[in-house]
Amino acid sequence: MPVPTPFHPRTSELCHSLLWKEWSGYYAVRSFDTCHEREYFALRHSAGLIDVSPLFKADLRGPGAADLLSLVTVRNLRKLRVGRVTYLCWCDDDGKVVDDGTVTRLGDTHYRLTGNGPLCAWLDRYTDGFDVEIEDTTEAYGALALQGPTSRAILVEAAGPEVEKLKFFRAMEARIGGVPVGITRTGYTGDLGYEVWVGRDDALAVWDRLMEIGRRYRIQPAGLDAMDVTRVEAGFVLCGVDYFAAHHCLIDERKSSPYEIGLGWAVNLEREPFVGQQALRAEVERGPVWKFAGLEYDWDDYEALFDSHGLPPQVPSGAWRDAVPLYDQRRRQIGQATSGAWSPIMKKNVALATLRPAHAEPGSRLRIEVTVEYERHTIGATVLPTPFFDPPRKKA
Amino acid sequence: MSTRYDAIVIGGGHNGLTAAAYLARAGRKVLVLERRHVLGGAAVSEELHPGFTFSVCSYVVSLLRPHIIRELELARHGLEIIPLDCSFLPLPDGDSLARWGDPERTRREVARFSRRDSERLHEFGLAMTQLCRFAKRIIDSPAPDPASLDPRELMKLLRLGQAMRGDSTDLRWLNYKLLTMSAADFLGLWFESDVLKAPMSVSGIIGTFLGVRSPGTAYVLLHHYMGEIDGAYRAWGFSKGGTGGVSLAIANAALAHGAEIREEAPVARVLVHGGKATGVVLENGDEIHAGAVLSSVDPNLTFMKLVGEEHLEDEFVGNIRNYKLRGSSGKVNLALDRLPEFACRPGDGPHLYGDIAIAPGIDYLERAYDDAKYGDFSSRPYINVVVPSLVDPSVAPPGKHVMSCFVQYAPFDIKEGPQRWPERREAFGDAVVDTLAEYIPGLRESILYRQVLTPWDLQEEFGLTEGNIFQGELSHEQLLFQRPTAGWARYRTPVDGLWSCGSATHPGGGIMGSPGELAAKTLLASRSV
């Protein structure tokens, strides 16, 4: 039985569709309307406000915090400057990804780690010898993702002009309606956007203030369905969908290295030892078994397939996450598309895929399974670089 | 009696019935002889108080092998299993812990006691699933014989080894740990909180005369973990109408295949002529002949009573005498006029719908064992409570409930001597009710009827020597190719034509059906009937 997040009194009032899902043990809105479309377009054209409180959070304090995080994760966090955020993943000894998330350096010896799953037991394995206090702050903070082109204007009005200067992947402290908050310029939509971190008791005041100011900027409460479409457009992998937490996998084939899920760029290999480093070095030498890639369905094939059944082309109404097989031109399976969506903003049918490296170069042609009227077919698809959607305003 | 059977099965418990069903299914003429007026052995339902049906002995189902359900079409013959969703642990300080099917909800509950433990539950479950996958290969076929040089035996051992080869090194080490550690220490590899370890560790002591800190109990933990319902490991369920429902479904399958079943037909002895079993003599003097005799009762009864030492070699008799039975548990069944209400979690909540453990800490459990070591029942025992009437209204009148309490420790060998158990029976029942009343203040007033079963009663009424619910401890020296004794683990016995098919054979006790199934299949493969 899920529990409410700190924003539940507001989200439950607004969720007319009664479409909820369970997210890490919390009630989370799938979409406020019966269709998520309005929320999606708000995220891309004005601003969407998403309750992301179920994200797991841990605060690490002490002189050993940077060393511990640099040992556990794939990045050297001693180099991260105060007020900056970085995206990363962490691995087991075999170099297989346990989870991905962000680290924010809030102070000289104060870091905040976020992730999809519980963080503390994993960190606890490595804390011996480090002068660090770890606090599970998942319950202590509510989190709101304010994402979309008008998000900056809303936050400037709500939290002050300093927000204007906040650069991509930077963090600052501010007040909204008198309430102290943390603001990071981060998000899961691949767009201009911010995440606001607030003590749970003050959560509603911040929600109310953002909604009130946001009205003039066409703010819209948004649910996970709309966010899911945007994260596919942004090419972000999702733990439990596009890859699986290594320490929760029953079989080795289910596990992935950072190089296999498109996070190789986050790995700093040449530095002092960290968990999984040896295995990752060996993998770089050997070459990964899989590669992460974006795909675009051939529209003409797609339309022709539906036409052969006497149907107009039907694009998926939301993001999907039931993996479908991918084949080479000789019909050998070469991987799978793990999630995908029709992108209303790009007018493209896209998917995120795990592929044999030989087929993963942008421009590669392959075949993807499509089911029409209960019949399985394959149609052509092309490998594209991710992110599919990458507006200049994201970093501007 | 002129009828001649291909096989006679002594004992109408679930294993005897399973063996009979498999033999009948293969076209053999089979007769099952049950001493009591009701089928099921220890998997039996009885209406002991008007309107209240008790699972008198065994009370939950999980280990029943899925392929037996399929092969005997038990669903068609009336088997219905209702899964348990929750494991509830009331604590004396007014707190409590409930573990649910919902992993996030469980994580949150456990985090109140240990955040670290709450985040490691998943990894523990994963490790147990991996160990179960290995164990499953072992329990679903007859035990290999490591002393044999027969290439077929060597191949079997090799296949087991290969099965393990696919597993990671870590998992292989874990397997050795499982075989050697205590349940409490094994759980300590993952968890720190007593409140979590205690109710989990009790699976390691059920039916054994060992404590949760005794080495070897970790394996028994797995034995209780590898049950599966509809493909899900660790799932336990209620049999509709009580566990007798399982036995009746198997009996129906046997009958449908043409087996004959007689109740109130106690066997006095096995007929042995020239070293070969040729049939049985009933207590009423009737002689019945058969090509094979299968005994589903324990080795002590089979060999010492029904066969007789004169037909056996001394060494074998010695081995059977040394076979550890030493029952350690009892059962208290209550008919209640209302739902039990726990002080720590009042009301008719979902926490009551699963199993409820009185096991507030490792020390508590170890102290309960201390009492037993020196010949007493535990003054504050481990109790596993279920209220099946919550999910199966057929077992109690509307608004009323049956409460089944498995109680450990109740040593067969109390210091007064086992035959004095009847005089201590009600004191034992009182200790159980007193213990429960500390958590359920209104319990005493709500009891309409109370049945107390001591190990002595399990022996006298159910034919379980020394009251051992598994027909012999599930300790390493009595498992696999040593169950019940080295050299005789493949369902044959030193008496030609006499076979064992009860829980005292591989893979052991619990409502599994495997001993009956594997014995029948081995007998059929031998082409001797």
DSSP string, B221-232: HHHHH--EETTE
- Res B166: pLDDT: 59
Instruction: Return phi, psi of residue A276, to 5°.
Output: 95, -5
**pLDDT of residue B275 exceeding 60:** yes
Closest residue of chain A to B133, computed from CA coordinates: A250
* The predicted structure's pLDDT at residue B480: 83
pLDDT of residue B228: 67
- Is residue B231 less than 8 Å (CB to CB) from chain A? no
For all residues of chain B together, what is the average pLDDT?
A: 93
Q: Which residues of A touch B134 (CB under 8 A)?
A: none
> What gap in Å lies between CA B284 and CA A192, rounded to an integer?
91
Tell me the average pLDDT across B407-414.
97
Q: What's the pLDDT score for residue B150?
A: 81
The alpha-carbon gap from A203 to the nearest alpha carbon of chain B, in Å, equals 21
Residue of B107, B119, B124 to mutate, interface with A, max A Cβ within 10 Å: B119
- Would you tell me which residues 275-334 of chain B have a C-beta closer than 8 angstroms to some C-beta of chain A? none
Instruction: Grade residue B137 by pLDDT with cuts at 50, 70 and 90.
Output: confident
User: Does B407 have pLDDT greater than 60?
Assistant: yes
Percent of chain A as helix, strand, coil, to the nearest 5: 30, 35, 40
- Using 50 as the pLDDT threshold, list the residues of chain A that sit under it: none
Contact B123 A247 (CB under 8 A): yes
Peptide bond into B397 cis (omega under 30): no
| Domains defined along chain B, listed by start | 4-82+241-323+476-526 (3.50.50.60), 85-235 (no CATH), 326-465 (3.30.519)
Amino acid B40 reads: G
What is the average pLDDT across B291-302?
A: 97
* C-alpha span between B108 and B119 (Å, rounded): 9
Min Cα distance A294 → chain B (Å) is 31
Could you give the residue ranges of the DSSP H alpha helices within chain A?
A: 8-14, 37-45, 65-72, 120-124, 151-159, 162-165, 203-214, 224-234, 277-286, 299-308
Q: Which residues of B touch A118 (CB under 8 A)?
A: 107, 118-119
Per the DSSP assignment, residues forming a β-bridge with A61 are: A110, A133
Q: What pLDDT score was predicted for residue B225?
A: 77
With 70 as the cut, is the pLDDT of residue B488 above it? yes
pLDDT number for residue B163: 64
Scan for tokens 């394996």, then name that residue.
Answer: B219
Q: Which domains does chain A have, with CATH numbers?
A: 8-55+138-222 (3.30.1360.120), 57-137+257-286 (3.30.70.1400), 291-393 (2.40.30.110)
Nearest-5° angle of CA B515, CA B517, CA B521?
A: 115
Instruction: Please report the pLDDT score of residue B139 as a whole number.
Output: 82
Query: From the CA of A121, how many Å to the nearest CA of chain B?
Result: 5
- On whether the CB atoms of residues B361 and B434 are closer than 8 A, the answer is no
Q: What is the pLDDT of residues B497-514, one digit of tens each?
A: 999 999 999 998 899 999
Q: How far is A252 from chain B (nearest CA, A)?
A: 9
What are φ and ψ of residue B512, in 5° steps?
-110, -40
| Interchain contact, B115 vs A2, CB within 8 Å | no
Quote the pLDDT of residue B131.
Answer: 86
Contact B104 A22 (CB under 8 A): yes
Candidate from B105, B116, B129 with C-beta closest to A124: B116
Residues of chain A in contact with residue B168, where contact means CB-CB under 8 angstroms, are 252
Strands A47-51 and A219-221: parallel
**Is the pLDDT at B394 greater than 80, yes or no?**
yes
Quick one: average pLDDT of B244-253? 98
Which among B115, B122, B126 has CB closest to A120?
B115
Minimal Cα–Cα distance from B120 to chain A, Å? 7
Chain B residues with beta carbon closer than 8 angstroms to that of A248: 122-123, 126
pLDDT reported for residue A77:
96
Which residues in A have their CB inside 8 Å of a CB on B? Answer: 1-3, 22, 24-25, 118-122, 124, 136, 247-250, 252
Q: Which pLDDT score, from 0 to 100, does residue B220 have? A: 82
- Look at residue B232 and tell me whether its pLDDT is greater than 80: no
The token pair that represents A258 in the structure block:
């950072």
What is the ipTM, given to two decimal places? 0.88
Give residues 22 to 81 of B whose Cβ lies within 8 Å of A: none
Question: What is this structure's pTM?
Answer: 0.92
CA distances from B50 to B243, B304, B335 (A): 18, 38, 10
Nearest residue in chain A measured CA to CA from B123: A248
3-state secondary structure A167-193: CCCEEEEEEECCEEEEEECCCCCCCCE
Residue A252 with chain B: CB contacts under 8 Å: 168
Share of chain B above pLDDT 90, in %: 81
Mean pLDDT of B309-322: 95
Q: Which residue has the tokens 């893979």?
A: B507
- pLDDT tens per residue, range B160-219: 666 666 567 777 788 888 888 999 999 999 999 999 999 999 999 998 999 999 998 998
Q: Is the dihedral of CA A285, A287, A292, A298 positive or negative?
A: positive
Residue B486 at interface with chain A, using a CB cutoff of 8 Å: no
Q: How confident is the model over B210-236, as a mean pLDDT?
A: 80
Is B29 a residue whose pLDDT tops 70?
yes
- Strands B4-10, A365-372: pairing is unpaired
Q: Is B92 exposed, middle or buried (0-12, 13-18, 19+ CB in 10 A)?
A: middle
Scanning every residue of chain A, which has its alpha carbon at the shortest distance from the alpha carbon of B127? A250
B430: pLDDT strictly greater than 70: yes
In whole angstroms, what is the distance from residue A4 CA to residue B361 CA?
32
How buried is B398 (Cβ within 10 angstroms: 0-12 exposed, 13-18 middle, 19+ buried)?
exposed
Closest CA in chain B for residue A139: B108
> For residue B373, what pLDDT is reported?
96
pLDDT given for residue A71 in this prediction: 98
